[in-house]
Amino acid sequence: MDDNWDSKLLRDTYLEIDLDRLAMNVDVIRRHVGEHVDLCAVIKANGYGMGAVDIAPTLIQNGATYLAVANLPEAMELRKRNSSWPIWVMGHTPDRYLKVAIENDITLTVFTLSQAETIQEIARLTGKIQPIQIKVDTGFNRLGFKITEMDIKSISSIFELANIEVVGVFSHLALASYDEDTKQLELLLGLKAKLELDGAKETVKYHVCDSISAISYPDFRLNMVRVGAALFGAKSYRYPDFPIETIAKFKTRISHLKNIEPGEGVSYDYKWRASRNSVVATLPFGYADGYPRNMTGQGEVVIEGRRFPIIGVICMDQCMVDVTELKGAHVGQEVTIFGSDAISIDELSQKAGTNKNEILSRLMQRVPRVYMKGGSIDHIRNDLL
Ligand SMILES: *Cc1c(COP(=O)(O)O)cnc(C)c1O
């Protein structure tokens, strides 16, 4: 790595993100769902740790029609970067922040008539037509209008508001079982039929699919899908052979090496003790970088294509690895913690007792992100500098 890039890293632990691979995943997903289905790219939680503003251009260039986030600050981060990206907040926006959202052309999610009326009033005063997506609760019991006669009336009245454009009506699947998901879909389709009878425009997008359902339920896609995890190559047991690949590799370098004798302990509480003459490598990453502390006793890393066990308790900023079997171990040697060609995020998340999204979204700000394109570094983000 040349000095110029190195000055943006200033540490040996970083997340390497392959933008070409991201573009390929988008392409694979778009082809799979078909050309009549819009792809809304879900990049909440800093793009599942991938860096929302850094991956957004690749997503838009490759045909994503919407960038979806969970809350308004996430939307504003994207808006600051680009004035024309279509950005949508999928979660609740408290009334006192609506004005900021409207002024910044952020599409809002609405699930009460009273909030729609508040938006109508702000939009009227600023002379805008505010795009919104109406959230409908078909069973998840998180957010949304229920499909009762009263709520359907409220939804119909929202369609009538002069300074509001309803661009979508959507729901979210619990993925409890195919049958129960189908019941949720049918509720949304029933609502769609009613709204269209009432004169709702055909340009309104109805959508219910996340990654898993977009990939595995062909009949659920309607005219838009909201895909997050699959963009980044997260495989599900529900689509094990779908040809997407992980775009991120978590890497570091050996910071220290030492020889220890049988009986010597390593790390807090000496939970690990050497049973032979051992070579111990120290690595400069720990749980405060986002690596799960409960990988203590079961974590591994990859050096020169082989696995080596993490030994002793994982510390906040460092951990130790038994490299006795590694010939020619040296300080500065490259180590892969997880990623495409090494230990998969799937394996790590299973061992850590969590899911892939949690592993990725908890990678901390102090881990620099290195973006690769065409085989070389495109740019580096280090929010601390
Ligand atoms: C996060 C989220 C998604 C995307 O889910 P993935 O499983 O990552 O594809 C879709 N819709 C809503 C409402 C979400 O919150």
Q: What mean pLDDT, rounded, does the chain reach?
A: 96
Catalytic member of 153, 183, 258, 268: 268
Catalytic member of 44, 135, 235, 251: 44
Cβ–Cβ under 8 Å, residues 191 and 156: no
Mutate to test the pocket of ligand 1, among 42, 69, 134, 357 (most ligand atoms within 8 A of CB): 42
The answer, yes or no, to whether residue 269 has pLDDT greater than 80, is yes
Alpha-carbon Rg for the chain, nearest whole angstrom, is 24
pLDDT at 10: 96
Give CA–CA dist 319/289, Å, rounded. Answer: 11
SS3 state at 260: strand
Give CA–CA dist 147/151, Å, rounded. Answer: 6
Model confidence pLDDT, tens digit, residues 177-230: 999 999 999 999 999 999 999 888 888 999 999 999 999 999 999 999 999 999
Model confidence pLDDT, tens digit, residues 104-163: 999 999 999 999 999 999 999 999 999 999 999 999 999 999 999 999 999 999 999 999
Per DSSP, 288 falls in state G
Here the tokens at position 213 are: 């359902």
109 alpha carbon to ligand 1 midpoint, in Å?
14
Q: Determine the residue type at 78.
A: L
Query: Dihedral (C-alpha) 255, 258, 264, 266: value to the nearest 10 degrees?
Result: 10
Q: 146-176 burial, b for 16+ CB within 10 Å, e for fewer? A: ebeeebbebbeebbebebbbbbbbbbbbebe
Cβ–Cβ under 8 Å, residues 338 and 299: no
Q: Which domains does the chain have, with CATH numbers?
A: 19-232 (3.20.20.10), 248-343 (2.40.37.10)
Here the tokens at position 217 are: 């339920």
Alpha carbon 125 to chain centroid distance? Answer: 36
Model confidence pLDDT, tens digit, residues 329-363: 999 999 999 996 679 999 999 999 999 999 999 99
Burial class, 240, CB count within 10 angstroms (exposed 0-12 / middle 13-18 / buried 19+):
exposed
Helix, strand, coil percentages (3-state) for the chain, rounded to 5, are 35, 25, 40
Give CA–CA dist 301/333, Å, rounded. Answer: 12
Tell me the average pLDDT across 268-289.
98
pLDDT band at residue 234 using 50, 70 and 90 as cut-offs: confident
Tell me the average pLDDT across 261-276.
98
Ligand 1 neighbours by CB, cut-off 6 Å = 42, 44, 90, 172, 210-211, 226-230
The answer, yes or no, to whether residue 2 has pLDDT greater than 80, is no
pLDDT at 340: 66
